[in-house]
Amino acid sequence: MTNSVIAEAPPAGADVPVAARNPRVRWILLAIGLVAALALPWFIYPPVAMDIVALALFAIALDILLGFTGLLSFGHAAFWGSSAYVTGLIATHYGVPFPVAVAGGAVFAMILALPIGYVSVRRSGIYFAMVTLAFAQMVYFIGYQWSDLTGGENGLQGVPRSFFGIELIETESFYFYYAALPILLFGMWAAWRIVHSPFGRVLVSIRDNAPRARALGYETDRYKALAFVLSAGLTGLAGGVFAINHGFVALTELHWTTSGDVVLMTVLGGIGTLWGGIVGAFLTVMLADYLASSGFSGIDLITGSVFILVVLLFRRGIWGTVRQQWDVRRRRVAARRALRSYSSPDRSSRRTTSGEGTGR
């Protein structure tokens, strides 16, 4: 019975999003997000728009671990890059439609995550981060040494964009965006279902108080391992689309700096929010694209400075801070209404008592 209680309700002190308390706000946000996703390639170069959505799913997948399970992974580049390579190899050698190749890459990422997650979740904190980083570097050097398959430093080139018999060449990036968008939106929907399910509430309980969750009968390592595999699968989904979008897979997709970049996006937007991953990916990609197009060479310097400013000014990330301020405003409005409803009967009762006294 205790297990059902913790699965049905968030733990004491948990941060409940506004949208979870107000379904109308949730549907408004979803409608705005869907319209923005559909309109994005009309205002931004379509390959850049595709990168934004793919990296947004990457950040959301990482946030399942970081924001909702309390595990900081520095090794998610292994799943992002390995899925990109597998997707590219399937699309190149078998000529299947790119959604099939992307699905194959995601499945491979989940299979790869099984042994890594099984070993990693037995540690916590900085030790978990270091174990995932070590595994990711192993995958990176395998990709580097296996140059006959991956292309080594030259990367995997000429990845096709076959879409059920239609070859979407590079000049048709606009159409490819709308062909690949449903895959990424499905991944985001899956992430939302994960964190808003009883399973997701158990993850939050483990994040807040793992010993208590174990005392209630939950096998915390099993839950964390499953969250790790699901996060890797969503990461692989994003990495596969990213590879098809560029038609090329570079060895840097497996490097630890890719893991650092997605952690930056997640923290920038706000951990534990899902929407924060979208905001962080959008700002990071747009800033890098603007600086690159303007010929500025110190992109990392500017990006790092922006990250420092956001950490200092928005302690919960951009979206997390906006959500916090909205919560504060709602609580104040609710408190004023409660005060009015409490004081109004008192005034009427005092008038009635006074009138009765005068009559006597």
Q: What is the pLDDT of residues 33-75, one digit of tens each?
A: 899 999 999 999 899 999 999 999 999 999 999 999 999 999 9
Give the integer Cα–Cα distance in Å for 249 and 48. Answer: 16
Number of domain units in the chain: 1
Could you tell me if residue 71 is inside a domain?
yes
What is the residue type of 192?
W
pLDDT tens by residue, 140-162: 999 999 888 888 888 888 888 87
Could you tell me if residue 168 is inside a domain?
yes
How much is the pLDDT for 170? 62
Could you tell me if residue 334 is inside a domain?
yes
Looking up residue 321, the CATH number of its domain turns out to be 1.10.3470
Measured CA to CA in angstroms, residue 337 lies from 328, 333, 334, 351 at distances of 14, 6, 5, 21
Could you tell me if residue 358 is inside a domain?
no
How much is the pLDDT for 313? 79
Closest C-alpha to 41, from 131, 216, 198, 172: 172
3-state SS of the chain is CHHHHHHHCCCCCCCCCHHHHCHHHHHHHHHHHHHHHHHHHHHCCHHHHHHHHHHHHHHHHHHHHHCCCCCCCCCCHHHHHHHHHHHHHHHHHHCCCHHHHHHHHHHHHHHHHHHHHHHHCCCCCHHHHHHHHHHHHHHHHHHHHCHHHHCHHHCEECCCCEECCEECCHHHHHHHHHHHHHHHHHHHHHHHHHHCCHHHHHHHHHHHCHHHHHHCCCCHHHHHHHHHHHHHHHHHHHHHHHHHHHCEECHHHHCHHHHHHHHHHHHHHCCCCCHHHHHHHHHHHHHHHHHHHCCCCCHHHHHHHHHHHHHHHCCCCHHHHHHHHHHHHHHHHHHHHHHHHHHHHHHHHHHHHHHHHHHC
Closest C-alpha to 132, from 85, 79, 83: 79
How much is the pLDDT for 68? 93
Could you tell me if residue 164 is inside a domain?
yes
Could you tell me if residue 360 is inside a domain?
no
Could you tell me if residue 247 is inside a domain?
yes
How much is the pLDDT for 2? 41
Residue spans of the chain under pLDDT 50: 1-20, 348, 350, 352-354, 356-360
Tell me the whole-structure pTM to 2 decimals.
0.84
Its domain, for residue 219, covers 2-352
Could you tell me if residue 24 is inside a domain?
yes
